[in-house]
Amino acid sequence: MAGFTGSHRVPYIVLRAMRRPLFVLVAVYAASMLGWRLIPGPDGVPLSFFHAFYFLAYTATTTGFGEIPYLYTDLQRMWAIVSLYAGVIAWVYAIGAIIQLIQNPHFQQALAERGFAKRVAMLTEPFVIVCGFGNRGSLLTRGLSDAGLAAVILDRDPDRIHAVKLRDYAVPAEALCADARIPERLIKAGLLRSQCRAVVALTDDEDVNAKVALAARLLNPHARVIAQLTRDEYEETLATLGGDIHIVDPFHTFARYLGATIHNPLIHMLNEWLIGAPNANLAMYADVPRGKWILCGFGRLGRAIHATLQELGISTVVIGSGIPPTEANGRDIIAGRINQKNLRAAGIEDAAGIVVGTDSDSDNLGTVLNARALNPRIFVLVRQNQHRNQVLFDAARADLIMQPTLVSARRILFLLTAPLLRTFFNEIRESQAKGHNEFLLSVIRDLHDTVGGRAAPRLWTVRVEEEQAPALAQLLDEGHAITFDDILSDPADRNRRVACVPLVIRSQGAIRVMPDIDHRILRGDEILFCGRSQAYRLVDATLANPYTLRYLMTGVEEPRSLVLRWLVRRHAAASRAPAERLSADG
């Protein structure tokens, strides 16, 4: 049936399904017309083909028009009865075939693909192809919509596709129930179009993600590919393809994130605030204690967390079922269920913290309650697997709640919308590794004073070119020297600065984190801003309006209308005239 799913074959499918009913209709009407042409009337002359067709037309359509050339003979009336009943049967057969065709799921799929391909072809703005609309895909699509990017979604689950149509996205998303592994589906989703910014493979099956990444890379070598993969063999295979391929491992991402949180809670606080986490505040962070930690769960995530804590020099005791005997012999590993007995054996009474990270939310919540019952002062970090259980985890009052799906979705989102954010945090981590805590503190202080510690920040990237910053590009081409102080001034009061901070600027291949306010901007620069939503609108308007930008640079508001500009030129000419006459007389 694969041949019936191509959207370009919809006319062929219709003709193939309707060929027999159409043949029956044609045969019935042809036989009827032939009968009328052969049966003689009262005067011995039969109806012509035209009058026979005319009679069948108004009887078959139930018009009931009663015009007849003369009274029919009994034989003609008998043939009329046969013709009418045969026509009714043929029409019932044809209508039944049409209904059967419409209800055919393969035909519906072909129609859906045809409409989907047409809608995608009409997209004129950049979009991202998201393969998989589970928790991660749903969170990513929401983030893309909030950032003004359209998403084109492929998923094999029809319920998820139906759910897309009910979401209130700011930017509508196109969705199709289809297997993303089939290259034709990726092409219909717009893979070969210039507006396709990236292909993101986020299904629950890593084989599918690897095949999607491979197909996208081969079909469009210029498209950015992001795939969620945890196995090393996939990473090695995709690495040989080259190109712009990013592999997201949610377990290692989660482990690194946890390690950074334990190492320096300020980084966690800054990260949570920048990504817009609920209740994030630049003036408040969790004080993660040092000491022995208990790690509950030793799967792929547990092993990644264990390795990260070992790198940080943090003493750990692991509790988990399914641990091989060769590993369970160590003193810091307890093979078995996570219950109060094993928690006591792990020394929970004097532990500083516990990481509850199994893949079962109910087990994790039960372990949190047990841990708190045995040690009320222990620092609890718990893994939340399902987003719908948010209320339960909030009620458990853990010190930190981490959702791997949310961590992965946010990482991919910022890879797409704010790729320089990674550079920003790398710079902070390097300064931390060198023991320079002052840099991190100065960043937090600047963001707190300019944007506001309790405000919801917005991150956006601007490339200094005609499409994104036409006014800035125009004035730079005219030779003006423009700095951040110019573009970040408030148009209502140029002595006041908008609530916005440039986090990173990439200029001529060089990266500068937290550039100075008097840093000179060049054409082609890529800038990552952080500010309030109102500041985003003001800066965006400034970068698009040369009059506003000139006013912010010079303090002189130029006339915008033709009449005002003509009056200004005339006044200037009139002012120069006396001086020129005096000069000529002298």
Q: From first to last of the 586 residues of the chain, give the pLDDT tens digit.
A: 444 445 567 788 888 888 899 999 999 999 999 999 999 988 888 888 888 888 888 887 776 666 666 788 899 899 989 998 998 899 999 999 999 988 888 888 888 888 999 999 999 989 999 999 988 899 899 989 988 899 999 999 999 999 888 888 889 899 999 999 999 999 999 999 989 989 999 998 888 998 999 899 889 888 889 998 877 777 667 767 666 788 888 788 878 777 777 777 788 788 888 887 777 788 766 677 778 889 998 887 788 888 888 888 888 898 988 777 666 666 688 888 888 898 998 899 999 989 898 888 999 999 999 999 999 989 898 888 888 888 998 888 888 888 878 888 888 888 888 889 888 988 888 887 777 778 888 999 999 999 988 888 889 999 999 988 999 999 999 999 999 999 999 998 888 999 999 999 999 889 999 999 999 999 999 999 999 989 999 999 999 999 999 999 988 877 666 676 677 677 667 766 666 665 665 5
- Three-point CA angle 581, 584, 586, nearest 5°: 110
Spatial CB neighbours of 542, under 8 Å, sequence gap ≥ 6 = 471, 487, 491, 548, 549, 552
Spatial CB neighbours of 28, under 8 Å, sequence gap ≥ 6 = 83, 86, 87, 89, 90
Reduced to 3 states (helix: H, G, I; strand: E, B; else coil), residue 134 is: coil
Distance CA 3, CA 193 (A): 25
Closest CA to 490 of 436, 450, 437: 450
Distance CA 368, CA 360 (A): 12
Note the Cα 392 to chain centre separation in Å.
27
What is the Cα Rg of the chain in Å?
36
Distance CA 524, CA 512 (A): 15
- Three-point CA angle 450, 455, 461, nearest 5°: 70
Spatial CB neighbours of 53, under 8 Å, sequence gap ≥ 6 = 29, 33
Place of tokens 């937290």: 514
C-beta of residue 47 within 8 angstroms of C-beta of residue 37: yes
E strand or H helix at 255: helix 250-263
Task: Report residue 103 as tokens.
Answer: 């209800």
DSSP state of 71: P
